Amino acid sequence: MLGDEKILFSGMQATGSLTLGNYLGALKNWVNLADEYTTFYCVVDEHSITVRQDPAELRKRARNLLMLYIAAGIDPEKNCLYYQSHVSGHAELAWILNCFTYMGELQRMTQFKDKSAKHADNINAGLFTYPVLMAADILLYQADVVPVGKDQLQHLELTRDIANRFNAIYGDVFTVPEPYLGKLGARIMSLQDPAKKMSKSDENPNASIYLMDDADTVMRKFKRAVTDSEACVAYRDEQPGLKNLLDIYCACTDKTPEEAVKEFEGKGYGELKTAVGESVVAVLTPLQNEFHRLEKEKDYIDKIIKQNAEKAGYYSSKTLRKVQKKIGFPEKIR
Ligand code: ATP
Ligand code: LTN
């Protein structure tokens, strides 16, 4: 159906503003994967409502995220970029898979534990079954590989368990997906606490570089970045703040840590911070320009959204129909 190419699926939530971590750790690495795989990159807006959202804000963020995918260089003609809520098969398959997932399995998910602690006033059933919807996303496209960060590996393992359980009962219906381990993306840490990862939900705006931050803001945040009192530029675990700055510099300039350390040998932290800031601005400026250009291309973006939703709908309906038939749902009379 999709030729011989393997299928790759990934998604991001449209909550919060994307950070440099999301870009260097995920988006940037997604750009060329279409050369090797048939790729689906979803804006998972249905996952977003597991925590309360303002409707206008959610709509805007979802569209911005889709435009950021494109601005980052993911070609919408070669990659299927679409909204989860435009393809009803995600929710339909999720319901079915709910009936093949155990309460105990979901209770063990660390993200559920973390998020219910954070949103103690709204521990809804959707938050609990979040991983089942994620399994549906992946299995609906018969994905072979799923690029995700470490924090999502537990959900991917559950997806594999659900797929194997279903296949054991009904025959080989689902492809059992593997995590994508290609070239591991950089793991970018908080600028204020290098023991924590940079995250879009951090309350301290100085901890993260947002993809839409202007040059002055970027330079200011790096100037304030936490380092150490060793006064010596080195790339080692004992100096995590500095290591993070060098990681960012290397990811933005395609240099190796050895090259970077040599470049800043004997120089002060101030000089290093300025150089890192400038390297980030050089990466963000073209991305922001492209994003602002796309903002004006309303018809073009609308066309992409429509076409890709149709494409995703077409592929997903094949799996869904097969699943419905295997389970014993009566066939539609056409
Ligand atoms: P939240 O703070 O809302 O949990 P997040 O910033 O951690 O969000 P996710 O939406 O969970 O981001 O992740 C989107 C993608 O970005 C994932 O593939 C994840 O691995 C990657 N990612 C997120 N933060 C970083 C980071 N600091 N470094 C590298 N990759 C990251
Ligand atoms: N849970 C993921 C987002 C996500 C996803 C997916 C990733 C939803 N569905 C399917 C890969 C495949 C997250 O929070 N990063």
Q: Report phi then psi at 45, rounded to 5.
A: -70, -25
Closest-approaching ligand to the CA atom of 203: 1
* 87 and 152 co-located in one domain: yes
Residue 271: which domain range?
Answer: 215-293
Nearest protein Cα to ligand 2, atom 2:
12
Paired tokens of 62: 């979802």
pTM here?
0.93
Q: Considering the domain boundaries, does residue 164 fall inside one?
A: yes
SS3 68: helix
132 Rama sector, left if φ>0, alpha if ψ -120 to 50, beta otherwise:
alpha
**Helix residue ranges, H only, 198-297:** 215-223, 240-253, 257-263, 269-296
In a domain, residue 274? The reply is yes
CATH number at residue 289: 1.10.240.10
- List pLDDT tens digits, range 107-148: 999 999 999 998 899 999 999 999 999 999 999 999 999 998
pLDDT digits (tens, 9 = 90+) for 13-52: 988 889 999 999 889 989 999 999 999 999 999 999 999 9
For residue 80, what is the domain's CATH number? 3.40.50.620
Q: Are residues 50 and 81 in the same domain?
A: yes
Q: Tell me the C-alpha distance between 178 and 51, whole Å.
A: 28
Residues 316 and 258 in one domain: no
Q: What is the mean pLDDT of residues 281-300?
A: 98
Tell me: do 76 and 174 sit in the same domain: yes
Judge whether 169 lies within some domain: yes
25 CB less than 6 Å from ligand 2?
no
Task: Please indicate whether residue 44, judged by its CB atom, sits closer than 6 Å to ligand 2.
Answer: yes
Considering the domain boundaries, does residue 210 fall inside one? no
148 Cα nearest atom in ligand 1 = 18
Whether residues 285 and 302 fall in one domain: no
CA 63 to chain centre: 15
Same domain, residue pair 78 and 152: yes
Q: What residues are in contact with ligand 1 under a 6 Å CB criterion? A: 12-13, 15-16, 19, 21-22, 25-26, 148-149, 185, 187-188, 197-201
Same domain, 57 and 169: yes
Q: What mean pLDDT do residues 248-277 have? A: 95
Report the alpha-carbon distance of residue 36 to residue 39 in Å, rounded. 9
**Under 8 Å CB-to-CB from 89, ≥6 apart: which residues?**
136, 140, 313, 316, 317, 319, 320
- What's the first-to-final CA gap in the chain, in angstroms? 23
